[in-house]
Structure 1
Amino acid sequence: MEDSQSEQQRVMRRHHREKKELQTRIQAMKNSVPKSDKKRRKQLLLDVARLKAELEQKHQQELEKFRESFPDDNNLDSITEDLAKMDLENQPPRQSRAQRRREKRATLERERQERIAEAEMEHLASFRREEEEKLAAILGSKNLELKDIPADGHCMYRAIQDQLVFSVTVESLRSRTADYMRKHVDDFLPFFTDPDSSDAYSREEFLSYCDEIVRSPSWGGQLELRALSHVLQTPIEVIQADSPAVVIGEEYTRKPLTLVYLHYACNLGEHYNSVRPLEASAVGGAAPRLF
């Protein structure tokens, strides 16, 4: 029993610390985006909601796993409830009136933040539904439907892989992309800046970025697509819900590879999917279902 209580306290203290760290991170994110920049503020709300939801889900899964580890301990729920009410900063046994007021304000603020998070998640779900409906209409007009690609950091390369008529691995696509970018530094380097400082990349930083393309499941974007269009000598069409389709590598005459870029597809944020011909039974009927 003592072991389970000690472990429970450790978990709850860590959860408390992680929530405070997230609040600090969120405040910094909000301070970095001007209130006048409505587009970035909108994306900020989505990012904040996603981060809060991910942390809440992580904590819930850890508590459930903890309960599974101590299935015979009937006091765990009461311990969890008691710990959740504790101030984990070693306060004295008796609280002053000022401390009680601070706790009440903190509780009210926490409840307000929870309501904001719920509203932000509802907005995110609404944006996602709207994006799906628009893409379904766009793809339907082309007799295409969405083909789901795993959201694992390799989605852009996997979507390209799915479109090709020959066999190639994701690792090969990443390696060939990085090689092309290294050989054409002057074509790509001017477009790379540090996301925090906005300073231009040095040549060494750019080459390190190319190494990460190969070594890690780093997310690919338009510059990597530009490199791939040259590697494959094939145009790449990127369909979006709220913008005209972008064609990269128009100088090539082959049939374009077609990708779909989604802003709100998953909790990870932006995502690439592939497409496939619309099933004959769906042509002329209802809008295609998104997978």
Structure 2
Amino acid sequence: MEDEIVETPEEQLAKQHRKEKKDMQAKIQSMKNAIPKNDKKRRKQMTEEISKIEADLSQKHEEELRQLKSTNDTEVEEVLNGVETMKMEGGEEEKGEEARQPRLTKAQKRRDKKAAEEKEREGRIAEAEVQNLQGVRHQEGLKLAQKLAQQQLQIKEISSDGHCMYRAIEDQLAQRSKPGLIMGMKELRSRTAEYMRGHADDFLPFLTNPNTGDMYTADEFEKYCSDAEHTAAWGGQLELRALTQVLQLPMEVIQADSPTIKIGEEFDSEPIITLVYMRHAYGLGEHYNSVERLKDPANAEDS
């Protein structure tokens, strides 16, 4: 009878990692199959989720390899310590027995604690993945897609870098405006701050110090305008009102659970700037996106 082949801990871990990677690929394929190819918004979100799943598994595998190496090193150290102890106790049988008993070292305690924390973290990640597919961000995306489809529109993603509102308007102008109205993000910020400075009375009543509740002072208002012009300060409804005056164009802001906000309706002209406001985008909170014409589902994947 042939001897049974005994795998080393390294070989066992490598086999486990191969199985986990295979399971992950199957899960990813299932996620891809669950989302229609023409649903660009959800497929982009899915891509981000897949990247996170892959990164988490890679980090887990690296940590397990480090733990295995650390365990091997500790075992060698414990053997050497045991031999040294036996020499010192020279023939005292009872003490020799105690020396041979496995001892829980501080290093092992740290590893056990870390392994427990890692297991708990993986559980939270798995739960978050399920909640994400069924959670508020996913539901918000579905509602927005339905609203936009009624206007033959779909979301056009804008990077979430603090400039999203201005970049979304920049994109809208590039899509729909006459060449003379095309402006970049920096110019839009500059023109917004310039208009607000020149019409302070229209904006000051809506700006209050969060600590005192008092209306902004002149210095505080100037800092607000300076931040709007020179930093990545997030833009909101006040800045949108200023921009409707700068551009002399009406705007509409579409939301999932609230009526569409219309600004600058006194400018009864084309084009209308259309933005999408999201409360739960990318786990970062509030975010603005642009829109574009709804693509033909048959050609969406190739576009």
What does residue range 126-205 of structure 1 map to in structure 2 within 5 Å?
126=134, 127-164=136-173, 165=177, 166-195=181-210, 197=211, 199-200=213-214, 201-205=216-220
Q: How does 1:6-21 map to 2 (within 5 A)?
A: none
Percent of residue pairs identical:
44
Distance 1:147 1:79, change over 3 A: same
Q: Is the 8 A contact 1:124 1:264 kept in 2?
A: no
Mark the runs of 5 or more structure 2 residues left unpaired by the alignment.
1-51, 71-104
Cα displacement string for residues 190-237 of structure 1 (whole angstroms, at most 9, x for unaligned residues): 212344x36233221121011011111111111110110111111110
Partners of 2:260 and 2:279 lie apart in 1 by 14
Contact 1:235 1:247 in 2 (8 A): yes
When residues 106 and 240 of structure 1 are mapped into structure 2, their CA distance, relative to the original with a 3 A threshold, is same
Query: How do 1:1-291 and structure 2 match up within 5 A?
Result: 78=66, 119=127, 122-126=130-134, 127-164=136-173, 165=177, 166-195=181-210, 197=211, 199-200=213-214, 201-255=216-270, 256-279=272-295, 281-282=296-297
Greater shift in the superposed pair: 114-123 or 182-191: 114-123
Task: Provide the C-alpha distance between the structure 2 equivalents of 1:191 and 1:80, rounded to a whole number of angstroms.
Answer: 60
Alignment partners' CA distance in 2, 1:80 and 1:224: 56
Structure 2 length-normalised TM: 0.55
| C-alpha distance 207-137 of structure 1, shift in aligned 2 (>3 A) | same
Change (3 A) 1:114 1:76: closer
Shift of 1:115: 5.6
Shift of 1:109: 9.4
Q: Distance in 1 between matches of 2:209 and 2:124?
A: 31
SS in 2 for 1:238: strand
SS in structure 2 opposite 1:151?
coil
CA 1:162–1:80: 2 relative to 1, 3 Å:
farther
Matches of 1:76 and 1:129, distance apart in 2: 33
- Structure-2 separation of matches of 1:221 and 1:133: 23
CA RMSD of aligned residues (A): 4.3
Higher helix share: 2
Structure 1 position 137, deviation (Å) = 0.8
Most deviating of 235-244 and 159-168 = 159-168
CA-to-aligned-CA distance 1:61-85 (integer Å, 9 cap, x gap): 9x99xx9xxxxxxx99648997xxx
Give deviations 1:35-61, integer Å, cap 9, x for gaps: xxxxxxxxxxxxxxxxxxx9xx99x99
State the SS of the aligned residue for 2:258: coil
Q: Please state whether the residue corresponding to 1:175 is helix, strand or coil.
A: helix
Cα deviation for residue 257 of structure 1 reads 0.6
Q: 1:221 to 1:105 in 2, by over 3 A?
A: same
Whole-angstrom CA distance in 1 between matches of 2:130 and 2:240? 32
TM normalised by structure 1 equals 0.57
Distance 1:76 1:135 in 2: 42
Q: Distance in 1 between matches of 2:201 and 2:159?
A: 33
Stretches of structure 1 that go unaligned for 5 or more consecutive residues are: 1-53, 68-74, 83-93
Q: Larger C-alpha radius of gyration, 1 or 2?
A: 2
Look up the SS of the partner of 2:256 in the other structure: coil
Q: 1:106 to 1:229 in 2, by over 3 A?
A: same
The separation in 2 between residues aligned to 1:246 and 1:212, in whole angstroms, is: 25
Shift in Å at residue 110 of structure 1?
9.7
CA–CA distance in 1 between the matches of 2:267 and 2:255? Answer: 22
Q: State the match for 1:45 in structure 2.
A: none
